[in-house]
Amino acid sequence: MNARIPSGTRDVLPEERAELRRIEAALLGVFSEAAYGEISTPTVEYQETLQRAGAAATPVSYRVLGELGEELALRSDMTVPIARVAASRYGDADLPLRFCYVAPAYRAVTPHRGQPREFLQAGIELIGADAVAGCAEALTVLCHSLQATGLKDFYVGIGDVGLYPSLLASCGVDVGASEAVLRALGDRDFVGIDREVAALNLTEDQTAMLTEVPRLRGAAVLRDQIEQPLAGALSGIRDVVESLDGEVAARMIPDLGRFPRMGYYSGAVFEVYDPAVGEPIASGGYYGDLLGRFGMAVGGVGFAIDVDLLHAALAGEERGETGR
């Protein structure tokens, strides 16, 4: 008998489970040292609750009907459930709140692409902290926790969701006309960015700035002499990086073109890259409005590490892979 399981899911057998357990323990050790309390939330929630995060959030992919006909869904991340918990159970508590978790989440896959439907995430949410100080704390915990697992060669790309829209606004481009450029930017389609910026009919200097900025990335960006309005737009990233310790700051790659297509992020956004893995192994950022949708008018910052990808990165580094 060989009973199947759905594509994108898998069984974890003792040898791998033991390795994952060591990684989880290392991550949770750092989270707990930084005063983050571990929490669990239900795997299934009301669809309505998860969708309260808005159309911009990671889409909920698996819906089920309960025995009474209630519309339930599997969570697509832990940030929305934790926002729900914070708003409904900690409304009067002293801020900031610090939560951490290790839990599976569920997302839709494209067939035949080797993507997981169910994946294990480990992360933190820091709720009600100042945006800059909160991002600095989250980035520090992120780097320390990855180091604690033994990961060495990773870097953190840091962008700011508001950067490019503020540059467009400074050039006098209104929200409606910005849409096509921002869509190309979200796809990192540089040919499309050049085409859409040209279509805005701006001055030569403005066109040059708007087409060059999405290409700017790397530590040198913060060191270079930068003129207004870019210098002002860059302050979101600069303030966070400058409040980090040297060792953590050294892992930052400022990325001026980062503009996530989806998500509830509204300030700094970050992603972890390791040369041994072709996709980001962790991501996070600042969200200003998410808790407000649950009636708690504060911002938050958090990140989620994909534990399976982190495991792959550790194995890759062990084999000496530094980008093949």
Partner 1 sequence: MNRFGLTIAVPRGALLGGSLDALDRADIDTSEVRTNDRKLLFADIGVVTMRPSDVPTYVEAGAADIGITGKDVLMEHPERQIFELADLEFGHCEMVVASEDGPDRAAEALERLGVMRIATKYPRIAAAYFERSGRQAEIVTVNGSVELAPLTGLADAIVDLTATGITLKENGLVVREQIASVTARLVANRVAHRLKAEAIEEFAALIAASAKPTSA
Task: Please tell me the distance from the alpha carbon of residue 304 to that of residue 79, in angstroms, as a whole number.
Answer: 9
Q: How far is CA 175 from the centre of its chain?
A: 24
Distance, CA of 77 to CA of 99 (rounded, Å): 14
Which of 38, 48, 279, 318 binds partner 1 (CB under 8 A)? It is: 279
Residue with smaller CB distance to partner 1, 90 or 190: 190
Toward partner 1, which CB reaches closer, 46 or 155? 155
37-38/97-106 β-pairing: parallel
Nearest Cα to Cα of residue 153 among 34, 318, 283, 268: 318
Q: Does 215 bind partner 1 (CB under 8 A)?
A: yes
Contact with partner 1 (CB under 8 A): which of 29, 104, 218, 229? 218
Binders of partner 1 among residues 92 to 121 (CB under 8 A) are 110
Radius of gyration of the chain (CA): 20
User: Stretches 83-91, 92-100, 188-196, 238-246: which one binds partner 1 (CB under 8 A)?
Assistant: 188-196
Per-residue mark of binding to partner 1, 131-170 (x: CB under 8 A): ------------------------x-x-------------
In angstroms, what is the minimal distance from the CB of 255 to partner 1?
6
Interface residue with partner 1 among 43, 280, 292, 293 (CB under 8 A) is 280
Q: Rounded CA gap, 150 and 317, in Å? A: 9
Cβ closest to partner 1, residue 122 vs residue 185: 185
What residues from 31 to 90 belong to the interface with partner 1 (CB under 8 A)? none
Give the nearest distance from C-beta 293 to partner 1 in angstroms: 27
The pair of three-digit structure tokens given for residue 215, joined into one six-digit string: 């290409």
CB neighbour list of residue 297: distance below 8 Å, 6 or more residues apart = 291
Q: Residue 44: count other Cβ atoms within 10 Å of its Cβ.
A: 17
Name the segment binding partner 1 (CB under 8 A); options: 6-14, 45-53, 184-192, 235-243. 184-192
Give the SS3 label for residue 159: strand
Q: Please say which residue, 16 or 187, places its beta carbon nearer to partner 1.
A: 187
Q: Which of 190, 211, 229, 260 binds partner 1 (CB under 8 A)?
A: 190
Taking CB under 8 A as the criterion, the residue among 37, 42, 172, 278 binding partner 1 is 278
Which DSSP category does 217 fall into?
B
Contacts of 76 (CB under 8 A, 6+ apart): 50, 57, 58, 59, 60, 61, 105, 106, 107
Q: Contacts from 278-284 at CB under 8 Å and sequence distance 24+?
A: 279/309, 280/157, 281/154, 281/305, 281/306, 281/309, 281/310, 281/312, 281/313, 282/123, 282/142, 282/146, 282/306, 282/309, 282/310, 284/123, 284/138, 284/142
Among positions 277, 282, 304, 310, the unique one binding partner 1 when judged by CB under 8 A: 277
Of the pair 21, 261, the CB lying nearest partner 1 is at 261
**Residues facing residue 147 across a β-bridge:** none
Q: How far is the CB of 112 from partner 1 (least distance, A)?
A: 10
| Distant-in-sequence, close-in-space partners of 45: CB < 8 Å, separation ≥ 6 | 72, 73, 75, 81, 84
CB nearer to partner 1: pick between 15 and 204: 204
Site track 232-271 with partner 1 (rule: CB under 8 A), x = hit = ---------------------x-x----------------
Q: Which residues bind partner 1 (CB under 8 A)?
A: 110, 155, 157, 187-192, 215, 217-218, 253, 255, 273-275, 277-280, 323-324
